[in-house]
Structure 1
Amino acid sequence: MKDAMAKAAPTGKVTDAPLTDEEIDELLTKLTSEEIEKLLEDTDPDDTHMPPSARCTYHCEKAPTGPLNRKALLNYIYDQAKKTPDQQDYVPHVPGTVRGKKWINPQIQEESLDDFQLDIDLGDEIEMALNDASTQDMIDLAGIMGLHSLINQEQYHASQSDKADKADPNLGWDGVTKATPLKYYPPEAPNLTNPDEVLEKIIENDEEQKEVNLNNVPVPEKTFLEIFKALQNNKVLHSLSLSNTSLTDWAACNLAHTLEANGTIEKLNLESNNITPQTLSKLFEAINIQESVTELKALNQAAQCLGNKVEMAITKSIENNKTLLKVGLQFEFNDCRNRVAVHLQKNLDRIRLKRIAEKFISRGNATAGYFAPPPGSLPVWKKASTPESEYEYYYSDHSDDED
């Protein structure tokens, strides 16, 4: 290598000019394999212009023992790592001991709080009050002044409102806000209504039983059929609630026949049962016979989607009903939903107009219609006459006197 470099310069000195590619190739041809390996060891491992294989100084000369098995290789590495003992430090580690000089950033100049003094003249009375104030008083004062960084949220709300509970005095300045304990609400008492007793009272037309609530009561289908049959001749019951009673489709069909004969039931609740969409459509058709039901709820059935055909049938039945005011049913199609809402609004307006007409009748206007005002409330208007000349517009007072 040295001989080749010497030949490159005739005078025996290395020139500052870079070597050309031909001179580099000529030098490499004269190098041995050992000299090339030593030359590669001196290369920069971070040189991105060289391939990774050439930048690595380690070269394995062993023959491969077989195909690569990554799992077996990792297990072997883990086993060797566990078997290899840890190297002992020359100086044992002692927790809390600092050896050497601790580095301090010269750009940051830390000042202790003891050396920092705040000279503010607050007056003798204020200073005396602050010196005698307790920690809780200082916390309340910080909350009033809006110093959110000094207190927690619970202490701030306690200082702002008199209705809020006082903060725990043991928290102090370094306290952590505690979670507000949840209010305990006792569980709802179970429904203890006996279906057999209800059936007996319905058959006897008990005057005191105007409402029946069987929500969350498992009623057999046979009992349902007997109750619905007895309701055909009952003239007392006004409200019937059968939510979450495992009402079957067959019992609901019998209820539809009952609604065709019963003209006293006004409120009906059939939520959370197993009624099919076709039976729901029959129920809405049945309430149009007597037109006594004003509220019908039938949400959360076995079939969540009713379908376009069933929804249109229910919509037509509702539009033919003049007494229905509330419908508890989820419509999927906007057309049905809007038509039902418009018709229910019309029914509400009809009742409101009837109520207004009754007020007018009570005032003494027996012939008053829905929009008729009380007698004597409106002035009597005269038919306008055609003026004889254009000057009458300007002398209206004179023309009135002549009249």
Structure 2
Amino acid sequence: MEFEYSDKVKGLITKLEAFMDEHIYPRETEYAQVLGTMEDRWDIHPIVEELKPKAKEAGLWNLFLPNKEFGAGLNNLEYAPLAEIMGRVVWAPEVFNCSAPDTGNMEVFSTYGTEAQKEKWLKPLLAGEIRSAFAMTEPEVASSDATNIETSIVRDGDEYVINGRKWYISGAMNKHCEIMIVMGKTDPENPNRHTQQSQILVPMKTPGVKIVRPMQVLGWDDAPEGHAEILFENVRVPAENIILGEGRGFEIAQGRLGPGRIHHCMRLIGQAQRALEAMCHRADSRIAFGKKLADQGSVREDIARSSCEIEQARLLTLKAANTMDLYGNKVAAEMISQIKIVAPNMAINVIERAIQMHGAMGLSQDSFLPRGFASARSIRLADGPDQVHMSQLGKRLIKRYTA
């Protein structure tokens, strides 16, 4: 595996770091203050709106898309250090049009969408003019097993009728969210449970789409993006809104989630790296019991252990990304599962140590750490909980070594 990045990637790293230093880090406090005074918390944040044109002008736009027609033309390995840099601030990826769930949805449109679907939805998403959501998780079933999804999608002439309830639909609270990709069942009696599901496009303003409430994540409402609970009551959309065809929903989901999972891990490594740096600054500046924290053995151990864990996760992420690039997501499935297990737990541990080292400040709104901790903890569930990844990975390994 080649650890030396190309001149193109090095140039993007330099530009992205400079952009973060100039436009993102200095405005973190202001971002939170403005959010607290916004008349509509679900509107696009004015700082993000202001910075998007600057990111476009700097050539830091749609960096995640490997398709040169739509994005920067970077593969997963090349995108990894950029996602890590953006991930250091939880709201930064949107500035560069690299935030979930839009990234996954744009990948779905670019890979599986018809020309009409690309024209209507992909183009404005690529331009950062609208937001989108992906509606899969349901409160009444164990959605970690996607074959459990109960939302019904029934063909009625030239339309499909959708009924069901979804929750934790990230991005759906934002008033600029205009389109959802909804996962449901078109053929619930099919003996093959993996071809019962389909994915269909549902505009947010379609009659029968009812936002029940914003969901919180460990006390955060994650405005202005938010996570909605949504009720679908006899929602009718044109038949051409089906993606790829009936029974292809699980296939699309698997194609979508591979990059999505590793992107989460890349961003979490950035959060953990920033927490490590904050620990070092804190240890060097804080006096307790007559000496610097940096002179306490246990503090040094926590810093050293955190550095080791971050580097281990970073290397596994890069190896998984490289395998995806060379052999495809299916061959890389084991390593994607491995890093999806490792990275969130690593980030939680590192950020927790940083919080402890910062004392009361580590719990406060004056620090990025609480938001980072909540984000890392939620990723242990997002795109498949640890237990599912470990179960599938263990099954694969047992089969391999006992064959």
TM bracket, shorter-chain basis: under 0.3
Greater Rg over alpha carbons, structure: 1
TM normalised by structure 1 equals: 0.21
Greater fraction strand: 2
